[in-house]
Structure 1
């Protein structure tokens, strides 16, 4: 975080400062900000956020022991540290992020990119950050820091030297993206796709469209919206941008896109294509596995070239990326038995993309195996969408369909209904049971996809399989 006095901190968050020790209102604080006392370092700011299972106020002493210089609290705590008392620690975190980013932006050198979409946010964020980091200091989220806590914590990592801030905006309800993006008013807003991920929280696909369009509305006037030309709902956000004085730049596979991919070839070692940007073309070989990541790369290229990076540099930097993120199409195992661990998140769209990738990268004499768990947060669409996954797995000719967990059972039942009743489809209640089965079932030449939502926990099953067949 940039250096602020305790008085400036208190004003930024609308709180009351209570001093302790040798501290004065003019004492400078410049350490990192966090809600986890274990991650606080010397000179840091600890935000005592109440939680569902515990309360940050119980860990103020631990934060002080790790070097905290200030604690932001909702009530006074008996600890030898200056405290800033606020009505809401989460709102104070957002207010502080807004203040810090605005202060750095006023210097004139900071450009801000916001990313949202039902799928692909984290991969696109990582690809774009890789391109921009060679241009200057770039701050981007760790893992999927994209909620009301993670997004502000990322913003608070900017310094006076930061040239680019890449923010990822996730949401499970209307208004969340507007609130988070409104903290920084991005210069560039990327909308990847509108799908059924989190549809249960939004209340349906149309509500999801309106929620994702909140990013376009948050882009500062004169800024740029980068929209997926191949997604009709995303394309329908263009009039919103025009109304607000925000330019539009299109990416996609169709000929109308300004940033386009042609000649896409998917292999087990990666995906190749030819990228065209405003008439200039260059071959790109992505080591990140899966055809769907081509769209994420196009979105990153669209943003980076709009920010002044050449297509040549974009391609060269993207080709150095070996893995988008842990548990996202992560290759494990060996050439003998290849495990693809993609069990950090799952929606109907990402599930379909992963299954298609499995089919595309499996060659003659090799066998496809899909280990599938539940997709969460689908609300009233859950039954139908789990049925669709089971049907798709059968239609793609997956040789072994291993369904894990009661919430995913409909995938198994649909696969059985579609003809996978002679041992091709099996069901296990737990990951341990599935693991025991797979240890004896998998053989040389198998290509294994492990796919589920985070809550299903199959990412750890994928790790175990990767170790066992390494």
Structure 2
């Protein structure tokens, strides 16, 4: 965090300052801000966030022992540290993030990109950060820091030397993206796609569309000092739901830059070829045909790559440099198409997130990268937050797995049982499709079942926990 006095921080968060020791209102703080006491370093600010299973107020002492000099709390804690008492620490870190970004932005150097979409946010964020870092100091979320806590913590990492802030905005309810993006008013807003992810929480696909469009409504509509143009909406030309958001951009006087495979896209991908070593394509930008090689597995990541390239070009990055740099990324993120195991048994651990769209894409990737002399194995768990659509969407994935001729379908967890039943009904009989209630049973089965030449996809939502099964398989077959 940039240097601020205790009184400035208290004013920003509407809090009551409780001084300790030699601290004064003018005492300056500039350390890391975090909700995890394990991440504290000297001069840090610890946010005592109450949680579902524990309470951050219990760890203030630990944070102090690790160097914290200030605690944001909802009640005074008997620990030797200055505290700022607020009504809600989650609201407080958002207020502090708004203040910090506003001060840094006043220098005129900081440019901000917001990214949202039902799938691909984290991968696109990492791709864009990879492109931007050679241009100047770049702050981007760690992992999937895209919610009401993670997004402000990312924002609070900016300094007066930061040139680019890349924000990832997730949401499980209407209004959340508007609140988070409203803290920073992005210069560039990227909407990747609208699918069934979180549809249960939103109440349907149309509500999801409205929620994702909140980012377009939050893009800066007036030029910054020293600039002569408003912000830019970067939209998916291949997704009609996203394309419809152009009307919001037009009404607000924003520029629109299109990405995708459509001929009308400003940044267009064509000639996709998927192998076990990655994906090749041609990217056309401003009349230039540029060769792209992605090390990240899966044709669906080409769309994420062209979105990142489009945003980078909108920020003034040379197109050829953007295409070259995005190809340097070896792993989108842990547990996202992460290749593990060995040449004998290759494990693709993609079990951090799952939706009908990403599940379908991962299964198709498995089919594309498996040679005729190799065997496909799909280890599949539940897709969360689908609400009333859960049974139907799981059944569709079961049908797809059979139609892709995947000879071993291993379904794990009661919430995914409809996927297994659909696969059996479609013709995956005998031991072609098997079901296990928990990951331990599945692991024991797979240890005996997997053989040389197997290519294994492990895919589920985070809540299903199959990412840890993928880790175990990767270690077992190294």
Pairwise CA RMSD: 0.8
2:284 matches 1:290: no
**Which 4+ stretches in 1 moved above 4 angstroms?**
none
Q: How far apart, CA to CA, are the structure 1 residues paired with 2:426 and 2:443?
A: 25
Please, which runs of 5 or more residues in structure 1 have no aligned partner? none
- Which residue pairs with 2:313 in the alignment? 305
2:271 matches 1:263: yes
2:173 matches 1:178: no
* Helix, strand or coil at the partner of 1:239: helix
1:236 pairs, out of 234, 237, 244, with: 244
1:432 pairs, out of 436, 440, 446, with: 440
Q: How far apart, CA to CA, are the structure 1 residues paired with 2:53 and 2:444?
A: 33
Q: How far apart, CA to CA, are the structure 1 residues paired with 2:136 and 2:86?
A: 35
* Helix, strand or coil at the partner of 2:9: helix
Q: How far apart, CA to CA, are the structure 1 residues paired with 2:189 and 2:121?
A: 12
1:356 pairs, out of 361, 364, 380, with: 364
Q: CA deviation at 1:257?
A: 0.5
Q: CA deviation at 1:194?
A: 0.3
- Which residue pairs with 1:25 in the alignment? 25
Deviations 1:211-258 (A, max 9, x none): 000000010101001000000100010001111121110000110101
- Which residue pairs with 1:156 in the alignment? 156
Deviations 1:122-178 (A, max 9, x none): 000000000000100000000000000000000000001000000000011111100
- Which residue pairs with 1:69 in the alignment? 69
2:190 matches 1:213: no
- Which residue pairs with 2:95 in the alignment? 95
2:405 matches 1:397: yes
- 275-284 or 114-123: bigger deviation: 275-284
Deviations 1:44-93 (A, max 9, x none): 11111112222222222221111111111112222221111111111110
After TM superposition, the structure 1 = structure 2 runs for residues 65-464 of structure 1, keeping only pairs within 5 Å, are 65-221=65-221, 222-464=230-472
Normalised by the length of structure 1, the TM-score is: 0.99
- 316-325 or 163-172: bigger deviation: 316-325
Deviations 1:245-291 (A, max 9, x none): 21110000110101000110000100000001121110010000000
Q: How far apart, CA to CA, are the structure 1 residues paired with 2:82 and 2:342?
A: 54
Normalised by the length of structure 2, the TM-score is: 0.97
Please, which runs of 5 or more residues in structure 2 have no aligned partner? 222-229
Q: CA deviation at 1:199?
A: 0.7
* Helix, strand or coil at the partner of 1:133: helix
* Helix, strand or coil at the partner of 1:216: helix
Q: How far apart, CA to CA, are the structure 2 residues paired with 1:344 and 1:373?
A: 11
Q: CA deviation at 1:464?
A: 1.1
Q: How far apart, CA to CA, are the structure 2 residues paired with 1:225 and 1:422?
A: 51
Q: CA deviation at 1:296?
A: 0.2
Q: CA deviation at 1:422?
A: 2.4
Deviations 1:72-117 (A, max 9, x none): 1112222221111111111110000000000000001000000000
Q: How far apart, CA to CA, are the structure 1 residues paired with 2:329 and 2:296?
A: 7
Q: How far apart, CA to CA, are the structure 1 residues paired with 2:33 and 2:234?
A: 31
